[in-house]
Chains A and B, each alone.
Chain A
């Protein structure tokens, strides 16, 4: 398998060592942002409750297919390297405990609906009294005011609301949209992260904290930035283009067999020459009019049919190597098994990492998609629910055993 076991040698320093984050986020978009902070050395304290589990804990996939709140790999992959504290925020002592923690934190982040934490006394204004230079991040779905601010959504509805669905489909006009809760795993955590890092850098320069709002709708719509600006200039709605290109041919995906496909993207005459060499003897490859982009684009339908017939039945991975060796951008449409079991590039760079988990056994994580030469990121096992209740309140807040026992007894740690 394509999985690296992380070397536990003397740990080098990490980029965000010394930064502490109080993390109220749930689901995907928020936890993915704080995961990156945690994997890079920040101490991220995830606040959860067993009265209402963070839903990835109860959705699976589960280790060995066996259900359990400490067995979900959906949860672990979004919460590596974090600490877990359970606080039932409906309990006043739990809110007081959370406020005590804030004093020791650089960043507080949540992705609840607008206003939820404010009602609990954990809004920015109140927490700033405790920690004046706090960086406070809210990630509501659609901002904190306005006629639809309280509306709910998930990544799939955001795909549609933001317009991504409206441009993603086949060239015949059939709309399909992304097959995942796409914004949760891309722009929304990404924008939250860069805003937090910007705010930390600003605080270092000025001593000032600030309030950050990542409205998930506003964030996601920037994915369509060029299309929005383009529409405002031309007033023409961009239609779905499928896998084709307006300007290049051949360009698209081709079937090899058994629903395995290869993408081929010829953008220059040199790349075309490479493809033509690889398919020597086929009439479409030797046709003189295909030597130029104009000729290929004019003839794109026939060219596509010729290549489709040539590709059908070929081994996709052998063909990919052959084309890449000839300088042609080509890639198999890989599935999860291909990436985990076969992809030699993922393997060589150790991008998927296995870490042992006390209940799940070995668990595979997607590592960060970058290597930092001096402060490498590191994946630490995602926490069991409430695993760090005692240590966080003892070591960070300084509560004594008696007070911790009392909090447990009154249900603050539920």
Chain B
């Protein structure tokens, strides 16, 4: 088993300490700060962090892949904010930090006198990001939501799913990524301002608003043209759809009007191949989006396109279509992704064990020439860094029952 030593390259956020009290609704915010080199200290309750049980969980080791992915390279301490000693420790931790990112219920930290206001005068440069389901003001400030509720209320689900079935959420705790990245970028802009001016601030981040910011142009379609965008069929227009190959499926996006002339290009190729029904597709009516959206048009086009795809493997047809400038992509299950030739060429996936068991991780989300992201490493155990972190604060580890 390979054991990787820490990177010798600097991190963009070296020297920045972040206190992390986020849950699954937004934890990607602190994961990305950690990738960028910040020292992220995750504060977990003494009874255990519920995130450690979030699926997928490896049945053999009990390790949560979600927890591992979101918290690798962080340090983990335990602390009970409901005790005086725990709050004292929290104050010292915050006092040592440049940033706090938290998603506690609105008002909870204020009741305990450990919210941003409690630190603003003594730590004026501190950047404190509060991430809540609806934001900390307004009539829904205390309403409850999770990934499903946020995708519903923020408008995303009205755009996904089949028209004849129920609206559909995206899989995989997507609000954590949507909200997490908005929160991390806002926090870094505020950190920049703090470094330049010495002035810290509070960020009030709303997951609801983040989702409603992710609706493509649905808000503008309504406010300019009065139309309400809704769920579309899988084949939204002629030339668009999922087609069978010898070893799976290919998604073809041969529409009209976008950056590539995909429809014109695929029709040209199908005519050259002499496919049955291809000639008709060159007629002018096929440039009319209203016609293209009819069932008749969609079915007619599909009958020709399938003649291209059904005798080829998905990577053969992917290459052949791309070489003719036709938008498309092979359909992949998660297990297929590891065989993507481009990602293999780029040596993108990263091997790094979890709980002593071999595991493969996604490579970097972005590459930086001077400050490469931290590669996946240690997954912190429950309270694993209590002694190291609290020791450096000049605190002996307090009695467990009291604070940790």
Mutual binders A and B: yes
Residue of A nearest to B167 (CB): A333
Q: Is A132 an interface residue (CB 8 A)?
A: no
Contacting B221 at CB < 8 Å: which of A170, A197, A247, A336?
Answer: A336
Q: How many B residues touch the partner, as a band?
A: 35 or more
Inter-chain contact A63/B224, CB cutoff 8 Å: yes
CB proximity to A under 8 Å, residues B30-56: 32-33, 36-37, 54-56
Contacting A149 at CB < 8 Å: which of B10, B153, B342?
Answer: B342
Residue interface mask A17-43, B partner, CB < 8 A = 1: 010000000011000000010001000
Residue interface mask B169-210, A partner, CB < 8 A = 1: 111111001110111111011111101100111111111111
Contacting B335 at CB < 8 Å: which of A184, A199, A235, A366?
Answer: A235
CA distance A213 to B370 in the complex (A): 12
Q: Which residues of B contact A152 (CB under 8 A)?
A: 259-260, 322, 325, 327
CA distance A148 to B329 in the complex (A): 11
CA distance A177 to B63 in the complex (A): 28
CA distance A233 to B227 in the complex (A): 46
Inter-chain contact A337/B228, CB cutoff 8 Å: yes
Inter-chain contact A178/B152, CB cutoff 8 Å: no
Q: Is A118 an interface residue (CB 8 A)?
A: no
Q: Is A115 an interface residue (CB 8 A)?
A: no
Q: Is A389 an interface residue (CB 8 A)?
A: no
CA distance A327 to B65 in the complex (A): 30
Least Cβ–Cβ distance between B149 and chain A, in angstroms: 4
Residue of B nearest to A362 (CB): B223
Inter-chain contact A187/B365, CB cutoff 8 Å: yes
CA distance A375 to B361 in the complex (A): 37
The stretch that binds A, out of B155-163, B300-308, B393-401, is B155-163
A331-B228 contact given A160-B251, A210-B368, A229-B361, CB 8 Å threshold: no
Contacting A15 at CB < 8 Å: which of B174, B189, B202, B334?
Answer: B189
Q: Which residues of A contact B150 (CB under 8 A)?
A: 331
A195-B368 contact given A201-B191, A227-B172, A344-B140, CB 8 Å threshold: yes
Inter-chain contact B166/A163, CB cutoff 8 Å: no
Contacting B224 at CB < 8 Å: which of A62, A145, A185, A187?
Answer: A62
CA distance A400 to B334 in the complex (A): 58
CA distance A344 to B134 in the complex (A): 11
Q: Is A410 an interface residue (CB 8 A)?
A: no
The stretch that binds B, out of A83-91, A291-299, A348-356, is A348-356
Inter-chain contact A160/B322, CB cutoff 8 Å: no
Q: Which residues of A contact B210 (CB under 8 A)?
A: 369
Inter-chain contact A180/B365, CB cutoff 8 Å: no
Residue interface mask B241-259, A partner, CB < 8 A = 1: 0100000000101000111
Residue of A nearest to B127 (CB): A372
Inter-chain contact B217/A73, CB cutoff 8 Å: yes
Residue interface mask B1-30, A partner, CB < 8 A = 1: 000000000101111100000000000000
Inter-chain contact A243/B166, CB cutoff 8 Å: yes
Inter-chain contact A222/B139, CB cutoff 8 Å: no
Q: Which residues of A contact B325 (CB under 8 A)?
A: 152
CB proximity to A under 8 Å, residues B217-234: 217-225, 227-232, 234
CA distance A197 to B148 in the complex (A): 30
Q: Which residues of A contact B274 (CB under 8 A)?
A: none
Inter-chain contact B223/A364, CB cutoff 8 Å: yes
Contacting B65 at CB < 8 Å: which of A230, A251, A261, A368?
Answer: A230
Least Cβ–Cβ distance between A318 and chain B, in angstroms: 15
Residue interface mask A247-270, B partner, CB < 8 A = 1: 100011101000001110101000
The stretch that binds A, out of B79-87, B275-283, B351-359, B382-390, is B351-359
For B70, B190, B217, B260, the residue with the greatest tally of chain A CB atoms inside 10 Å of its CB is: B217
Some 30 contacts from A to B, beta carbons below 8 A apart, are: A61-B225, A61-B227, A63-B224, A157-B253, A161-B330, A169-B168, A174-B162, A176-B168, A176-B234, A179-B231, A180-B159, A193-B185, A194-B188, A195-B36, A202-B13, A217-B343, A218-B366, A227-B65, A229-B65, A230-B56, A238-B56, A243-B168, A261-B152, A336-B222, A336-B229, A345-B139, A349-B138, A351-B212, A373-B203, A374-B199
Interface pairs A-B: 4 shortest CB-CB: A190-B181, A230-B56, A198-B12, A369-B209
Q: A60-B224, A205-B14 are in contact. List 12 more A-B contacts (CB 8 A).
A: A161-B329, A166-B331, A198-B371, A222-B362, A233-B63, A237-B335, A251-B148, A253-B157, A329-B145, A333-B158, A351-B209, A372-B201
